């Protein structure tokens, strides 16, 4: 099939499946990003995330990850909901990052990606490819930017004019040619609100983030005691952090999401009268069944909750 027709049909199907945006980029080695990633790793900006050193060439070259691949198809799925904004107006409760207040996005996203992959297979014929949702060494933000779906902001998140940064990213890497989109240009201008707002100074310069200082890293990835120097700066956050996104001007009028499964769960926003730090392992498993929060495990989640609750007490 003609690449233009294939592109139009796959994009149309992606929107029918409920994805908010779909873009196409040529699969090739990311030379500049490879250099930047190597420098970042050498500076130990990844903390204890040793897995980021693994599969370096696959991370920067999709043709090594999927042999024979020609294209990276990037998809976005929004998760901004009014319920989150109402909840966030409470300043006396520990917080979970917005993306993790509903069902595990990996499952929601992947189910629809599988349908899009099958559609592409039926459309083109025998194809070789894989789908990814934060599940392999793929620089998803870079590929989405190359596919015209946004630009990399100063907080290292992908941004676009319609959805701000309140969206999730997934991709198909395929041996199918498409008509490729032009990369989006950067629209942060002179704004430094994300840099100024970060309490741990994780954004050490525009477009550069020290992962080992990020609150999301401290509350999710770090499987050890949290260093004393960061405890107060964690504020009310006990899983993830939205500070640099909350202050971003592009997020003020971004479009709302429409996937019911990604909406925040009522029992997560408004739990029964209990301290999060005191929930049992059984309660943790029950409350966060099918949730990204399970990644933290009960042990580390309650560690975070103790700190968040202590910070809130000290503010009153």
Per-residue pLDDT tens digits for 165-175 = 999 999 999 99
Q: Does residue 48 or residue 240 have the better pLDDT? A: 240
DSSP state of 296: G
Mean pLDDT for 1-23 is 96
* DSSP β-bridge partners for residue 22: 75
94 φ/ψ sector (left φ>0, alpha ψ -120 to 50, else beta): beta
- pLDDT at position 47, please? 85
- Apex 172 CA angle, 158 and 52, nearest 5: 60
Q: Does residue 240 or residue 108 have the better pLDDT? A: 240
Mean pLDDT for 276-281 is 96
Mean pLDDT for 177-189 is 96
Active-site residue identified among 61, 134, 233, 261: 134
In what helix (H) or strand (E) does residue 131 lie, and over which residues does it extend? strand 129-132
Work out the number of other CB atoms within 10 angstroms of the CB of residue 261: 15
Mean pLDDT (the chain) is 95
Buried b (16+ CB within 10 A) or exposed e, 65-85: bbeebbbbbbbbbbbbbeebe
- Whether 308 has a pLDDT exceeding 90, the answer reads yes
- Whether 1 has a pLDDT exceeding 80, the answer reads no
Mean pLDDT for 247-263 is 94
| 134 assigned to active site | yes
% of the chain at pLDDT higher than 90: 88
Work out the number of other CB atoms within 10 angstroms of the CB of residue 126: 6
- Whether 258 has a pLDDT exceeding 80, the answer reads yes
- pLDDT at position 135, please? 76
Mean pLDDT for 79-84 is 96
- pLDDT at position 316, please? 64
Give the model's confidence band at 178: pLDDT under 50 very low, under 70 low, under 90 confident, else very high. very high
Work out the number of other CB atoms within 10 angstroms of the CB of residue 233: 16
Per domain, the residue ranges of the chain are 3-80+104-174, 193-315
Provide the token pair at 98.
Answer: 């917005």
Choice among 229-233, 246-250, 311-315 with the minimum mean pLDDT? 311-315
Q: Are strands 167-174 and 95-96 parallel, antiparallel or unpaired?
A: unpaired
- pLDDT at position 274, please? 78
Buried b (16+ CB within 10 A) or exposed e, 269-289: bebeeeebbebeeeebeebbe
- pLDDT at position 235, please? 97
Rounded to whole angstroms, the Cα distance separating 264 from 124 reads 38
Rounded to whole angstroms, the Cα distance separating 60 from 64 reads 9
Sign of the CA dihedral 145, 246, 169, 305? Answer: positive
Rounded to whole angstroms, the Cα distance separating 237 from 251 reads 20
User: For tokens 């629809």, what's the residue?
Assistant: 112
% of the chain at pLDDT higher than 70: 100
Work out the number of other CB atoms within 10 angstroms of the CB of residue 5: 11
- pLDDT at position 60, please? 95
- pLDDT at position 137, please? 86
Predicted model pTM: 0.94
């Amino acid at each position: 099939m003609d690449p233009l027709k294939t592109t139009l049909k796959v994009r149309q199907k992606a929107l029918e499946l409920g994805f908010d945006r779909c873009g196409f980029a040529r699969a090739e080695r990311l030379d500049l990003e490879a250099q930047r990633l190597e420098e970042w790793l050498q500076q130990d900006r990844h903390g204890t995330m040793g897995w980021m050193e693994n599969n370096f060439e696959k991370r920067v070259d999709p043709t090594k990850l999927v042999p024979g691949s020609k294209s990276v198809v990037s998809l976005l799925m929004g998760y901004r909901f009014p319920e989150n904004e109402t909840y966030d107006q409470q300043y006396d409760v520990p917080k979970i990052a917005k993306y993790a207040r509903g069902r595990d996005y990996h499952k929601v996203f992947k189910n629809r990606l599988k349908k899009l992959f099958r559609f592409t297979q039926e459309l083109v014929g025998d194809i070789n490819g894989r789908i990814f949702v934060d599940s392999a060494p793929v620089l998803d933000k870079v590929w989405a930017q190359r596919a015209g779906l946004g630009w990399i902001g100063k907080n290292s998140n992908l941004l676009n004019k319609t959805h701000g940064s309140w969206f999730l990213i997934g991709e198909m890497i395929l041996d199918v040619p498409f008509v490729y989109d032009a990369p989006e240009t950067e629209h942060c201008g002179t704004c430094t609100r994300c840099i100024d707002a970060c309490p741990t100074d994780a954004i050490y310069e525009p477009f550069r983030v020290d992962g080992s200082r990020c609150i999301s890293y401290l509350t999710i990835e770090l499987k050890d005691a949290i260093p004393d120097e960061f405890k107060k700066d964690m504020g009310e956050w006990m899983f993830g952090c939205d500070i640099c996104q909350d202050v971003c001007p592009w997020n003020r009028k971004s479009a709302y999401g429409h996937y019911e499964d990604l909406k925040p769960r009522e029992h997560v926003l408004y739990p029964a009268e209990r301290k999060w730090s005191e929930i049992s392992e059984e309660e943790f498993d029950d409350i966060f069944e099918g949730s990204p929060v399970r990644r933290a495990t009960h042990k580390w989640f309650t560690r975070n909750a103790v700190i968040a609750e202590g910070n809130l007490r000290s503010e009153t």
